[in-house]
């Protein structure tokens, strides 16, 4: 259908028994990276109306020691990614393009999970809109706060909420001193030790 509309497309191909097909291909090493090679070949799967060009990137996952005829050898274990596309790129270029899409999908999932996007909290559109905007504001504030301490930079938003918001506490200010007061034996005490500034 995409081809009939002359649309650009990039599809990650996952078919059974492709591993054996990959092993029989002629691979071209990537300049500057001995552990990455590419190939392309035509293939027609069941249900496809025509042959298509598959572009494959092979990379070394790890090196393992094997014994063959009483002799030990170090051999590579490969992992493959295969694409069908009408973009004029080799497998490495298609892989980079596909990674951009997966990064966008990750961002979408984070927005849905961290700001409760897609969750209807009330029957009123405007109330839901305000609640969502407040969630976005809270998320952005937590990101800015996490950047201040390297220990918390990589923490998920939900973990941050558990550590700093879900536990009852209060901030007091007296004599130009800011202090965070909370229950002495709270659950995340070790992870939460911070200097109030």
- Token pair listed for 158: 């939900």
Residue 108: predicted pLDDT? 72
Q: Which residues pair with 73 in a beta bridge?
A: 66
* pLDDT single digits (tens) 102-151: 777 777 777 676 666 666 668 888 888 888 788 778 778 777 877 777 77
Find the domain containing 40 and state its range: 10-104
Distance (Å, rounded) from C-alpha 169 to C-alpha 179? 10
pLDDT confidence of residue 38: 94
The answer as to whether 50 is a domain residue is: yes
Would you state the pLDDT for residue 93? 92
Give which of 161, 166, 169, 165 is closest to 116, Cα–Cα: 161
Query: For the chain, which residues score pLDDT lower than 50?
Result: 194-197
Do both 130 and 100 map to the same domain? no
The pLDDT value given to residue 31 = 86
Q: Do residues 91 and 134 both lie within one domain? A: no
Whether the CA torsion 146, 152, 157, 160 is positive or negative: it is: negative
pLDDT for 23 equals 86
Tokens at residue 191, please? Answer: 């992870």
Residues 156 and 191 in one domain: yes
Instruction: Indicate whether 25 and 55 sit together in one domain.
Output: yes
Q: Record the pTM.
A: 0.54
Is residue 113 a part of any domain in this protein?
no
């Amino acid at each position: 259908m995409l081809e009939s509309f002359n649309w650009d497309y990039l599809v990650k191909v996952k078919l059974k028994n492709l591993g054996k097909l990959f092993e029989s291909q002629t691979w071209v090493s990537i300049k500057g990276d001995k552990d990455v090679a590419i190939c392309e070949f035509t293939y027609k799967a069941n249900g496809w109306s025509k042959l298509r060009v598959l572009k494959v990137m092979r990379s070394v996952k790890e090196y393992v020691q094997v014994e063959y005829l009483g002799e030990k050898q170090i051999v590579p274990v490969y992992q493959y990614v295969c694409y069908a596309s009408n973009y004029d790129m080799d497998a490495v270029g298609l892989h980079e393009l596909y990674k951009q899409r997966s990064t966008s999908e990750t961002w979408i999932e984070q927005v849905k999970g961290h700001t409760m996007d897609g969750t209807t909290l009330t029957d009123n559109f405007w109330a839901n809109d305000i609640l969502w905007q407040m969630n976005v504001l809270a998320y952005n504030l937590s990101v800015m706060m996490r950047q201040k301490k390297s220990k918390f930079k990589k923490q998920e938003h939900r973990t941050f909420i558990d550590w700093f918001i879900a536990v009852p506490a209060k901030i007091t200010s007296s004599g130009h001193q800011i202090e965070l007061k909370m229950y002495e034996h709270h659950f995340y005490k070790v992870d939460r030790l911070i200097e109030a500034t």
